[in-house]
Amino acid sequence: MVQNTPRFGTVGQGNVAVLHQPAHRLRQYGLADCARPLGLSEFAIRTIIEKLRLLAEHDDMPLPRTPRFVEGRKIDGPHAIHAHSRWDAGEFDAWLHGRHPAAPAVAADAVRAEMAQRAERMATVR
């Protein structure tokens, strides 16, 4: 049997071609693979695409390896991201791990004072 011969399996309500070699072995990510670690999985596909395009434009997220053509013209840049885009997994992981974590929220002085008072009361309630 040839390694990349498509077979058909039921995904959702339609038949979809599935390669025998899983995406993680090909070291490629699809749209859902990129959305999951970014916390975008619960959004509609259109929203995920819009957010990934913004990340590519403003945060230097890598662009997909799959070309996109519209009316015979190749689309470059963030607008190349579409529902069937495939990213190089190593490149995407490197970008993802190189991002800085969000800054911690800073509590207002009044909240800090109330928290200190509660801590004192709890320490004396023995």
- Total-model pTM: 0.59
- Whether residue 43 contacts residue 35, with contact meaning beta carbons closer than 8 Å, is answered with yes
Q: What is the mean pLDDT of residues 39-59?
A: 94
Q: Which pLDDT score, from 0 to 100, does residue 107 have?
A: 58
Residue 108 corresponds to which tokens in the numbers above? 């207002």
- pLDDT per residue as tens digits for the range 61-107: 999 999 999 999 999 999 999 999 999 999 999 999 887 554 455 55
Helices in 2-99 by DSSP H: which ranges? 23-26, 31-35, 45-58, 89-98
Q: What's the rounded Cα separation, in Å, for the pair 92 and 98?
A: 10
Domain regions of the chain by residue span = 26-124
Is pLDDT above 60 for 12? no
Q: Measured in whole angstroms, how far is the alpha carbon of residue 98 from the centre of its chain?
A: 14
Largest Cα span, the chain: 76
Torsion of CA 26, 31, 34, 39, to 10 degrees: -150
Q: Which pLDDT score, from 0 to 100, does residue 101 have?
A: 53
| Integer CA distances (angstroms), 57 to 39, 72, 115, in order | 18, 24, 41
In sequence order, what E strands does 1-126 have? 7-11, 14-18, 28-29, 68-70, 73-75, 87-88
